[in-house]
């Protein structure tokens, strides 16, 4: 093993141990759990507020007893076709009164209910009033009046056919399932790189502020420091992924089989090959972004400059996610998909999505070769940028010196 390789591994081990064996790493490791907890609390609160207002929403029919029963029977049959979350508001039957129009208008000012739409008049020529968002419920009331009138004129019982409905589980994946798997792969890689790759910027600025980086630079070449930090942070990322992958695998074992239907989400290229490709593409994405972030972080002289760098870094990652997600939802031979696959910083995301939707293996061999060349180029450029930022050679101090003359 060469001297540079040994020095690189020493720095990598130092950074890995210094990051992992700290109390704050436990908080970082459990960060997704904390985020899920906050999201759950916020979601429950929002759902409670939405449910409180939805409980009072009604569609109202002003009808006599005969028409009211016909509308209720039609509503019972038609409502069974909707999912619970997509069903129209409950139907309420009210007497029409002497002036049905005024009665209908008064219901919109009634504090006891929140009328979405109100039907009045004969069933063959009903009038339906609806609120600002009641166009869909008004159409449902019109369909109820039509169905009730058809049942009455046909003079037949409401149910003439009794169907036997049986669930059927697919054994193979579907096109929509593969598309969902592709978008899920892009989303998972984006979240992982967003959470893991950006930490290198802040860590390097901290070491510069307490002069640790100068001690390392005096002991070993800066190229070894750069590569060691990149490898050490990649090891931290692998530990993070391994921890959560093991945890999720154990949780999935307790989920009832009828609630988990993964057969439709089978990647087109095969589960084992997809897992391998996803790991390789994540490594490429992490090394690309991590090298850039280390090079940028070396230019920052203070935490204020780190905060200034956080926004463009986040914008870059979100832009790559948006481009890759759009490419995953496009045909593989479209201009957008080809551009996303060729652009180095979006290529790992786009090709991970393609692995779920297309069965060919050769595009991935080309993509990994292409990305490997860019990883080597970016690491070489970022290492030079890193050296310049640490030694303050070739420019003024700090990040602003990069844009100053001489």
Question: How much is the average pLDDT of 148-156?
Answer: 81
* Residue of 25 and 1 predicted with greater confidence: 25
CA-CA distance, 168 to 346, in Å (whole number)?
A: 38
Strand, coil or helix: 354? helix
Residue 62 near residue 94 (C-beta atoms within 8 A): yes
Q: What is the pLDDT of residues 256-298, one digit of tens each?
A: 665 555 556 678 788 889 889 999 999 999 888 888 887 777 7
Confidence of residue 54 (pLDDT cuts 50, 70, 90): low
pLDDT digits (tens, 9 = 90+) for 177-213: 778 888 888 888 888 888 787 666 666 666 666 667 7
pLDDT in tens, 330-365: 888 889 989 999 998 899 999 998 888 888 899 999
Residue 264: predicted pLDDT:
60
Beta strands 57-62 and 91-94 are: parallel
Q: Where are the alpha helices (DSSP H) in 358-398?
A: 362-391
DSSP 8-state code for residue 327: H
What DSSP state is assigned to residue 333?
T
The model's pLDDT over 81-136, given as tens digits with 9 standing for 90+, comes to: 888 778 888 898 989 888 889 988 888 888 778 888 999 998 888 999 988 878 88
Q: DSSP character for 399?
A: G
* Res 18: pLDDT: 82
Q: Give 276: exposed, middle or buried? Use CB within 10 Å, 0-12, 13-18, 19+.
A: middle
Q: Give which of 26, 12, 108 is closest to 59, Cα–Cα.
A: 108
On whether the CB atoms of residues 227 and 382 are closer than 8 A, the answer is no
Q: List the structure tokens of 310.
A: 């956080």
d(CA 258, CA 136): 33
DSSP 127: E
Please return the burial class of 227, using the count of CB atoms within 10 Å of its CB with bins 0-12, 13-18 and 19+.
Answer: buried
The pLDDT value given to residue 134: 80
Report pLDDT for 201: 66
What is the token pair recorded at 389? Answer: 């930022």
Nearest to 390 by CA among 165, 213, 171, 172: 213
Confidence at 397, pLDDT banded by 50, 70, 90: very low
CATH of domain 57-154: 3.40.190
Q: Which has the closest alpha carbon to 232: 381, 389, 72, 21?
A: 21
Distance of CA 90 to the CA centre of its chain: 33
Higher pLDDT residue, 99 or 405? 99
Q: Is residue 177 packed enough to be buried (19+ CB in 10 Å), middle (13-18) or exposed (0-12)?
A: buried
Numbered ranges of CATH 3.40.190 in the chain: 57-154
Cα Rg of the chain, angstroms: 31
Closest CA to 367 of 378, 384, 354: 354
Helices assigned H by DSSP within 55-134: 65-79, 100-107
pLDDT higher at 78 or 112: 78
Q: Is the per-residue pLDDT at 395 higher than 70? A: no
With H, G, I as helix, E, B as strand and everything else as coil, classify residue 334.
coil
How far, in Å, are 4, 23, 62, 326 from residue 375 at the CA level?
19, 32, 70, 24
Residue-wise pLDDT for 213-250, tens only, equals 767 777 777 778 888 888 888 888 899 888 888 888 88
């Amino acid at each position: 093993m060469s001297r540079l390789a040994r020095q690189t591994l020493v720095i990598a081990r130092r950074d890995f141990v210094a990051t992992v064996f700290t109390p704050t790493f436990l908080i970082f490791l459990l960060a997704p759990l904390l985020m899920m907890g906050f999201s759950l609390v916020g979601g429950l609160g929002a759902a409670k507020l939405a449910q409180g207002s939805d409980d009072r929403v009604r569609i109202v029919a002003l009808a006599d007893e005969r028409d009211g029963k016909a509308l209720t029977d039609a509503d019972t049959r038609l409502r069974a076709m909707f999912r619970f979350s997509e069903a129209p508001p409950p139907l309420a039957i009210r007497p029409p009164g002497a002036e049905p129009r005024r009665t209908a208008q008064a219901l919109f000012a009634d504090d006891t209910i929140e009328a979405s739409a109100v039907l009045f008049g004969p069933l063959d020529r009903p009038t339906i009033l609806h609120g600002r968002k009641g166009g869909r419920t008004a159409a449902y009331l019109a369909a109820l009046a039509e169905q009730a009138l058809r049942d009455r004129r046909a003079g037949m019982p409401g149910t003439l056919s009794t169907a036997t409905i049986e669930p059927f589980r697919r054994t193979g994946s579907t096109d929509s399932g593969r598309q969902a798997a592709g978008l899920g792969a892009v989303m998972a890689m984006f979240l992982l790189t967003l959470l893991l790759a950006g930490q290198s910027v802040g860590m390097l600025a901290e070491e510069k502020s307490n002069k640790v980086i100068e001690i390392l630079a005096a002991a070993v070449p800066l190229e070894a420091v750069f590569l060691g930090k990149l490898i050490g942070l990649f090891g931290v990322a692998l530990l993070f992924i391994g921890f959560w992958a093991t945890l999720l695998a154990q949780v999935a074992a307790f989920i009832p089989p009828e609630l988990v239907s993964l057969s439709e989400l089978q990647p087109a290229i095969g589960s084992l090959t997809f897992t391998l490709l996803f790991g390789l593409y994540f490594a490429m994405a992490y090394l690309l972004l991590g090298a850039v972030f280390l090079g940028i972080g070396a230019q920052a002289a203070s935490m204020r400059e780190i905060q200034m760098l956080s926004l463009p870094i986040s914008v870059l990652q979100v832009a790559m996610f948006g481009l890759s997600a759009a490419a995953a939802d496009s045909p593989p031979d479209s201009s957008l998909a080809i551009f996303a696959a060729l652009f180095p910083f979006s290529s790992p995301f786009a090709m991970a999505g393609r692995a779920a939707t297309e069965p060919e293996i050769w595009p991935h061999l080309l993509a990994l070769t292409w990305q490997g060349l860019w990883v080597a180029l970016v690491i070489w450029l970022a290492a030079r940028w890193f050296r310049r930022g640490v030694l303050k050679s070739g420019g003024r101090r700090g990040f602003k010196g990069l844009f100053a003359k001489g």
